[in-house]
């Protein structure tokens, strides 16, 4: 009986956390946090089905890095430059020469860009049944366009015990899924921590 009880508790704890379905962090061979001085965080692209405002991911990365050793180019200045040069951001992250020169004038030696591919939340009667967030990001050297760091993380979570019967009075209530907002915060935190300290994080692919 005790063994059975232990198994049930273990399964409950294992399923209580949101899963990292894809978790990839890569660095160029000569990457070092000390080699990055000032980062310009560009507005992120978003998938066709994503309604979250484009600036939010960039703003969240800014918040995650504001107390770090990295200096950040002011987002207002970045937006002005993007409007002036009519920069069209693509998934490739390629920066044209005119944009490159203007970013260098702002003191940026590195840019961060990426795409929020998925940001979905199934909420019914104010109860979150399922949420999923998929984000890719990369850090490029302004001068050469070299990719110094890249990250790809997909996390999802689903509600627990919905419609299920009580089991030995241990699991006795429904538990909603982690919100998409919290999943996004966790992803950005993990990505930022990885290149702050050059930590290689592994997950399930």
Q: What is the pLDDT of residues 98-121, one digit of tens each?
A: 888 889 999 999 999 999 999 999
Entry pTM: 0.81
CA dist 110 and 3 (Å) reads 54
Q: What is the mean pLDDT of the chain?
A: 83
- Sign of the four-CA dihedral 105, 111, 181, 13: negative
Residue 101 · residue 40 · CB < 8 Å? no
Who wins on pLDDT, 59 or 197? 59
Tokens in use for 2? 């005790």
The predicted model gives 60-72 an average pLDDT of: 94
For the cut 60, the answer to whether the pLDDT of residue 14 exceeds it is no
Q: What would the mean pLDDT of 154-175 be, rounded to a whole number?
A: 74
Phi, psi of 196, deg, nearest 5: -65, -40
Q: What is the mean pLDDT of residues 148-172?
A: 79
Indicate whether 165 pLDDT > 90: no
Q: Is the CB of residue 118 less than 8 Å from the CB of residue 48?
A: no
Q: Rounded to whole angstroms, what are the CA distances from 190 to 23, 67, 82, 184?
A: 10, 15, 28, 10
Query: Which CATH number among 2.40.50.140, 3.40.50.1220, 3.40.50.10610, 1.10.1200.10 corresponds to the domain 18-197?
Result: 3.40.50.10610
């Amino acid at each position: 009986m005790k063994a059975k009880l232990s198994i049930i508790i273990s399964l409950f704890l294992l399923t209580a956390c949101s899963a990292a379905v894809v978790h990839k962090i890569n660095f160029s061979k000569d990457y070092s946090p000390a080699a990055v001085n000032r980062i310009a965080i560009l507005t992120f692209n978003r998938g066709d089905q994503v309604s979250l405002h484009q600036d939010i991911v960039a703003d969240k990365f800014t918040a995650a890095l504001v107390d770090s050793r990295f200096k950040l180019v002011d987002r207002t200045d970045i937006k002005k430059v993007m409007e002036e040069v009519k920069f069209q951001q693509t998934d490739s992250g390629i920066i044209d020469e005119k944009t490159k020169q203007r970013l260098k004038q702002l003191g940026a030696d590195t840019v961060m860009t990426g795409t929020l591919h998925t940001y979905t939340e199934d909420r019914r009667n104010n109860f979150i049944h399922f949420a999923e967030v998929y984000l890719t990001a990369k850090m490029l050297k302004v001068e050469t366009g070299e990719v110094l760091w890249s990250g790809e993380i997909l996390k999802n979570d689903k509600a627990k015990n919905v419609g299920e019967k009580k089991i030995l009075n241990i699991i006795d209530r429904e538990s909603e899924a982690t919100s998409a907002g919290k999943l996004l915060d966790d992803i950005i935190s993990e990505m930022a921590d990885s290149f702050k300290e050059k930590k290689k994080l592994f997950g399930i692919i």
